[in-house]
Amino acid sequence: MKEMNALNMEALADVTGGEIRKVNNKSVGYAYVREEPGKNGQVLGALKNGTEVETTGEVCKKDGYDWYMVHLTTGSDDAWIAGSLIGY
């Protein structure tokens, strides 16, 4: 799993707003999106692997992760997701 997370982080190195990325969490098959960045942010929902999200360009470091604000392509509000869970 560390290798996949490293690849995801490499893919996010120069992410700006408006880029489409897919959820990719091999360990459980989904990723939580949160109202605020960080492990304690209120969970808004869970996205299955392969779900597309659009980056807004906003990034926050918290709890040892880079958290990315994303716009859910399903038309919902913006949410935060750990960068290690989104990639290409």
Domain of 36 in residue numbering reads as 2-85
The total of other beta-carbon atoms located within 10 Å of residue 43's CB is 11
47-84: b (≥16 Cβ within 10 Å) or e: beeebebebbeebeeeeebbbbbbbbeeeeeebbbbbb
pLDDT tens digits along 3-52 = 444 545 555 555 667 888 899 998 999 999 999 999 999 999 999 999 99
Q: pLDDT confidence of 79, banded at 50, 70, 90? A: very high
CATH of residue 53's domain is: 2.30.30.40
State residue 2's pLDDT score. 42
Average pLDDT on 65-81 reads 85
State residue 87's pLDDT score. 75
- What domain count does the chain have? 1
State residue 24's pLDDT score. 93
Q: What are phi and psi of 62, to 5 degrees?
A: -160, 140
pTM of structure = 0.79
